[in-house]
Amino acid sequence: MPLILISGYPSSGKTYRSQQILDFFTRKISESEEPEVKRLKVHHFDDQGLGLSRDVYATARAEKDARATLSSAIKRVLSRDAVIVADGMNYIKGFRYQLYCEAKAVQTPNCVVHVGTPPDKCRVLNEVALKTATGGYEPEIFDNLVFRYEEPNGMSRWDSPLFTVPYDDAEPPYEAIWEAMIGSEGKAKVVRPNTATVLKPASDQNYLYELDKTTSEIVAAISAWQQDHAGEGGDEISVPGAETKILLPLAPPSLPQLQRLRRQFTTLNRQHSVSKGRLRELFIDYLNDAFQS
């Protein structure tokens, strides 16, 4: 059932908002007369519950391991009979995309709740937390996380539907979230998976080779086009063998940015045995979504 990702700056109040949503969903499920809703179980995952300290964000390796821990915990219970509230930083759009794919693969809806507390307010709250038993983020880690935060964008399918909760709002939009995840009639929603998110064993021995080759060719095509056009942005690039065109943003992506997106895509699709003929279109779609977010 639904996967609700909580996202926000450090010390923005994510845990508080998560608890509000947990309490609301628990009450609604207990009051429902629909068997499909009554059987739902609510799960909550956060760094503290998973035994992760705030210091994991001090190094890239520790942070990567922490994200893997959260992802594994979610995948263990992700099903049509579970409501999961994932309370964590979730500040990297590639990670949100990964969890979006996991939800689609089990035909369950997902959404993102953005805790919209301004950075200056978060800084004050973090300084207070550092002086209490609840703890906070060390200043250097706090500043680094704020700098690297990739704000959710409702125009991206993995961040949609997106619910933003301003700091001054007493409560999240409970009913809107319930409607998006469960439905007004109380019937559990089922999401139809698409070709890109159905996990299958890789039956084609050449699949990984084609995945690497296709994505490399597209990155090379973009780089060559930018060299020929003096790094211009805001234009369309046609790729041989693909109907969809690459829509470059006004600020053209650098080669390291393109390589990072390529690595994210190949990692996410390494176990997805999709048609080799679809890889080109899927990667172009992925790039266009990333450029527009």
Q: According to the model, what pLDDT value does residue 48 have?
A: 87
**pLDDT per residue over 27-36, tens digit each?**
999 998 888 8
Asked whether residue 104 is assigned to any structural domain, the reply reads yes
- CATH code: domain of residue 110: 3.40.50.300
For range 159-164, the mean pLDDT: 94
Residues 106 and 24 in one domain: yes
Structurally, how many domains does the chain consist of? 2
Residues 36 and 157 in one domain: yes
**Position 287 confidence tier, pLDDT thresholds 50, 70, 90:** confident
Q: According to the model, what pLDDT value does residue 189 have?
A: 58
d(CA 69, CA 275): 30
Distances (CA, A) of 80 to 174, 181, 240, 247: 20, 11, 40, 36
Residue 271 has pLDDT above 80, yes or no: no
Asked whether residue 285 is assigned to any structural domain, the reply reads yes
For range 116-144, the mean pLDDT: 91
- The DSSP annotation for 1-40 comes to --EEEEEESTTSSHHHHHHHHHHHHHHHHHH---HHHHT-
Asked whether residue 76 is assigned to any structural domain, the reply reads yes
Q: Of the residues 181, 199, 230, which one is the last residue of a structural domain? A: 181
- pLDDT above 90 covers a percentage of the chain that reads 39
**pLDDT per residue over 13-57, tens digit each?**
999 999 999 999 999 999 988 888 888 999 999 988 899 888 899
Asked whether residue 191 is assigned to any structural domain, the reply reads no
**Position 242 confidence tier, pLDDT thresholds 50, 70, 90:** confident
Residues 28 and 89 in one domain: yes
Name, of 61-70, 138-147, 197-206, 248-257, the range with top average pLDDT: 138-147
Q: According to the model, what pLDDT value does residue 198 have?
A: 45
Asked whether residue 200 is assigned to any structural domain, the reply reads no
Residues 169 and 270 in one domain: no
β-bridge mates for residue 111, sequence order: 4
Residue 112 has pLDDT above 60, yes or no: yes
- Is the CA virtual torsion 22, 25, 28, 34 positive or negative? negative
Residues 18 and 55 in one domain: yes
Residues 36 and 91 in one domain: yes
Q: Which of 150, 149, 162 has its CA nearest to residue 100? A: 162
Asked whether residue 266 is assigned to any structural domain, the reply reads yes
Asked whether residue 134 is assigned to any structural domain, the reply reads yes
Q: How far apart are the first and last CA of the chain?
A: 26
Residues 131 and 274 in one domain: no
Q: According to the model, what pLDDT value does residue 264 have?
A: 87
d(CA 125, CA 95): 26
Residue 120 has pLDDT above 90, yes or no: yes
- Judged by DSSP in three states, 244 sits in coil
Domain residues for 252?
A: 207-292
Asked whether residue 267 is assigned to any structural domain, the reply reads yes
Residues 12 and 147 in one domain: yes
- Judged by DSSP in three states, 257 sits in helix
